[in-house]
């Protein structure tokens, strides 16, 4: 099991209602005008260092076990006759396959109270939501003008920002420290009351996060979060689709040198259906990953799912309400020519 698989498996079931209540007390401390994030918290570096030290000790323990097993193999070799090298190698590989998970199962996440971590994660999530909303508008504008192919790449980036924003609002963040990744969970356990959230949980991944890691975390959060204001049918589809499909169109354009999805390299393509949303909160039929415009459809869905969380927070928080209202004030045709009528929810209230 990889570090990433362990970190994902450690994420436990969570209630949006309790997370929302916890955010209400956190918001009183958040400076919404300063874009701070997890990378600005010095206390995270020693946590990462401690987790790395434990991992190195586990690796030394594993290597010691492997050397001991190998010594036994050498001692058991026949003094006469031929050595069955294939059988010996197979036995060694089998022992390592058994011993490695035993050793690494002893590595557990750290639990600590870190001042400011909730405020920083919320601030980070809000900024990511703003970026997602803006970039989705850029994708819509390109598509509206007839540049449909490249709008898919922009739309993918919007959905990627929105997925990280959604993770943050559900308590999950990650920060790169010395080429490795620290996964942060500020809502690590099921609780009876929102006030019971105190410590954060920190997991170690021995590499930088790539896009696939983010999508796997996103899918895990969709699977374990209850009572969130998301369309159930969309959640059921997004949490099980192969993670490679989220970035497929963007990757094909960037890495397949002769590939271009639409005939719009030299002409504007404005005829025919593109990016239409018909089934929000009805079914998952919009989310057909074989449709040629799926990236902008996913961009809309993940962005709106994230806005659904912010909208509920804006209803309850007078402090946050102006920031939330700004999203919907900017849902106009000039900025979102395709989805200006579909992005808003009911007004946050007076």
Q: 275-326 pLDDT, tens per residue?
A: 999 999 999 999 999 999 999 999 999 999 999 999 999 999 999 999 999 9
Contact 274, 293 (CB under 8 A): yes
What pLDDT does residue 78 have?
A: 84
Instruction: Please determine, for residue 345, whether its predicted confidence score (pLDDT) is greater than 90.
Output: no
Q: Give the confidence band of 89 by pLDDT, cuts at 50, 70, 90.
A: very high
Quickly state the pLDDT bin for 348 (edges 50, 70, 90).
very low
pTM over 0.75: yes
Average pLDDT of the residues in 173-201? 93
- Secondary structure class of 202 (helix, strand, coil): strand
Q: Determine the average pLDDT of the residues in 70-96.
A: 88
Using pLDDT thresholds of 50, 70 and 90, give the confidence band for residue 103.
confident
For the stretch 64-77, pLDDT in tens is 999 999 999 988 88
271 has pLDDT over 90:
yes
Residue pair 154/133 in contact (Cβ under 8 Å)? The answer is: no
pLDDT band at 350 (very low <50, low <70, confident <90, very high): very low
**How is residue 30 written in tokens?**
């958040």
Enumerate the H helices of the chain as residue ranges.
Answer: 3-9, 16-27, 44-75, 85-104, 117-145, 148-169, 211-224, 232-238, 248-255, 294-316, 321-329
Beta strands in 85-214 (DSSP E): 110-112, 172-177, 180-185, 200-205
| pLDDT computed for residue 105 by the predictor | 79
């Amino acid at each position: 099991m990889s570090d990433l698989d362990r970190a994902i498996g450690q994420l436990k079931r969570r209630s949006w209602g309790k997370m929302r209540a916890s955010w209400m007390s956190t918001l009183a401390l958040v400076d919404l005008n300063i874009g701070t994030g997890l990378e600005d918290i010095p206390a995270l570096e020693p946590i990462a260092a401690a987790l790395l030290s434990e991992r190195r000790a586990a690796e030394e323990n594993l290597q010691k076990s492997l050397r001991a097993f190998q010594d036994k193999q050498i001692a058991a070799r026949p003094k006469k006759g031929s050595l069955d090298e294939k059988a010996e190698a197979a036995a060694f590989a089998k022992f390592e396959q058994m011993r490695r998970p035993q050793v690494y199962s002893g590595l557990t996440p750290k639990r600590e109270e870190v001042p400011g971590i909730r405020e920083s994660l919320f601030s980070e999530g809000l900024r990511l939501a703003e970026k997602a909303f803006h970039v989705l508008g850029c994708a819509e504008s390109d598509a509206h003008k007839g540049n449909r192919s490249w709008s898919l790449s922009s739309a993918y980036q919007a959905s990627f920002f929105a997925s990280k924003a959604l993770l943050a609002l559900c308590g999950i963040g990650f920060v790169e420290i010395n080429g490795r990744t620290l996964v942060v969970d500020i809502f690590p356990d099921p609780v009876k009351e929102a006030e019971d959230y105190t410590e954060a949980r920190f997991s170690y991944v021995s590499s930088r996060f790539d896009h696939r890691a983010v999508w796997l975390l996103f899918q895990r959060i969709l699977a374990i979060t209850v009572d969130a204001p998301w369309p159930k049918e969309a959640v059921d589809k997004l949490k099980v689709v192969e993670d490679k499909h989220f970035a497929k169109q963007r990757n094909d354009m960037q890495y397949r040198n002769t590939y271009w999805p639409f005939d719009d390299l030299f002409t504007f393509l404005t005829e025919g259906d593109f990016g239409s949303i018909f089934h929000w909160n009805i079914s998952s039929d919009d989310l057909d990953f074989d449709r040629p415009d799926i990236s902008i459809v996913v961009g809309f869905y993940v962005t709106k799912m994230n806005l659904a969380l912010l909208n509920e927070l804006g209803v309850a928080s007078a402090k946050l309400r102006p920031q939330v209202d700004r999203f919907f004030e900017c849902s106009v045709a000039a900025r979102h020519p395709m989805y200006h009528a579909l992005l808003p929810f009911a007004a946050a209230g007076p």
